[in-house]
């Protein structure tokens, strides 16, 4: 009997197509092209890091920070380090990486908004020492994000934050993590790229706008008039549509000092046809 995992591997057009693209693209195409075609591991990580670095460089920064909220076992953080190395070679800019996690897996849900019918305390526990041995540049920040985030700027003096990967699962934890944009507002680029892992889900979790991460996003937007979390509508133009294109939002700080600084192409004209 063929189980679901084998069926997905054999029949899932997205996974098969992605793997074929990765094999071909790695041999023939540069890093930035491979991201656009989803032909690389975790292309959504690479996309956000690359775009954050481009914006930071356009604004005159020599460094940019990226943050992962919810490290779990650490595979995402290790993958981020790979993307950081590639982007640094491409753009000649230094990338700092920070990972926030409890270190002990999910805590107790606060109430129904944390979806206790789907998440269980202790899920996604970390082998801290094993992960630290594998990391080459990332700063691992352990503890409740509500307690570790307020002192982030003072303890680590990060470069301006340009990309955030949000994978805390709970409404309550995500809400605390979004305080980044209030507590350290001056240390965030005027536009930052955010990947939300827990907003699509499946037929068991049934994400909605009244619980979980989507609720945290909506409350942030309702409570802020000068800062907004907006869907990245431009990603519909990617050559191959993948689920992650619907999971990336852009943080806008309309009152940031550099928000209106010109960063587009210098010359854009549409002369009259002869």
> What pLDDT does residue 29 have?
82
Q: Which CATH superfamily is domain 42-253 in?
A: Vaccinia Virus protein VP39 (3.40.50.150)
> What pLDDT does residue 151 have?
98
Please state the pTM of the whole predicted model: 0.90
Burial 114-135 (b: 16+ CB within 10 A, else e): bbeebbeeeebebeeeebeeeb
Token pair for 264: 């587009």
> What pLDDT does residue 71 have?
98
Ranges in the chain, pLDDT < 70: 1-27
Where does the chain have alpha helices with state H?
Answer: 4-11, 13-28, 31-36, 43-58, 75-91, 128-134, 145-148, 152-156, 171-177, 180-183, 212-223
Contact criterion met (CB below 8 Å) for 187 and 157: no
> What pLDDT does residue 1 have?
47
CA 260 to chain centre: 24
pLDDT tens, residue by residue, 148-180: 999 999 999 999 999 999 999 999 999 999 999
Domain boundaries, the chain: 10-40, 42-253
Distances (CA, A) of 264 to 58, 188, 214, 256, 261: 9, 20, 31, 18, 9
């Amino acid at each position: 009997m063929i189980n679901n995992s084998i069926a997905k591997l054999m029949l899932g057009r997205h996974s098969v197509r992605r793997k074929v693209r990765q094999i071909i693209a790695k041999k023939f195409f540069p890093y930035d092209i491979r991201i656009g075609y989803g032909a690389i591991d975790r292309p959504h990580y690479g996309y956000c890091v690359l775009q954050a670095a481009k914006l930071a460089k356009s604004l005159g920064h020599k460094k940019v920070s990226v943050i992962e909220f919810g490290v779990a076992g650490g595979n995402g953080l290790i993958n981020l380090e790979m993307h950081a190395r590639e982007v640094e070679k491409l753009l000649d800019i230094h990338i700092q990486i920070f990972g926030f996690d409890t270190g002990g897996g999910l805590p107790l849900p606060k109430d129904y908004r944390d979806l206790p019918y789907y998440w269980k305390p202790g899920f996604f526990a970390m082998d801290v020492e094993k992960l630290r041995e594998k990391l080459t540049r990332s700063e691992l920040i352990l503890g409740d994000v509500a307690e570790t985030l307020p002192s982030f700027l003072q303890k680590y003096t990060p470069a301006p934050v340009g990309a955030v990967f949000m994978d805390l699962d709970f409404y309550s934890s995500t809400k605390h993590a979004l305080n980044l944009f209030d507590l350290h507002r001056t240390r965030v680029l005027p536009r930052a790229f955010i990947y939300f892992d827990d907003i699509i889900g499946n037929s068991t979790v049934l994400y909605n706008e009244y619980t979980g991460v989507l609720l945290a996003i909506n409350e942030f937007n309702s409570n802020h008039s000068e800062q907004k979390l907006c869907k990245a509508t431009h990603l519909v133009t990617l050559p191959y549509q993948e689920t992650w294109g619907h999971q990336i939002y852009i943080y806008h700080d309309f009152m940031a000092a550099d928000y209106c600084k010109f960063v587009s192409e210098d010359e854009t004209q549409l002369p009259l046809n002869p």
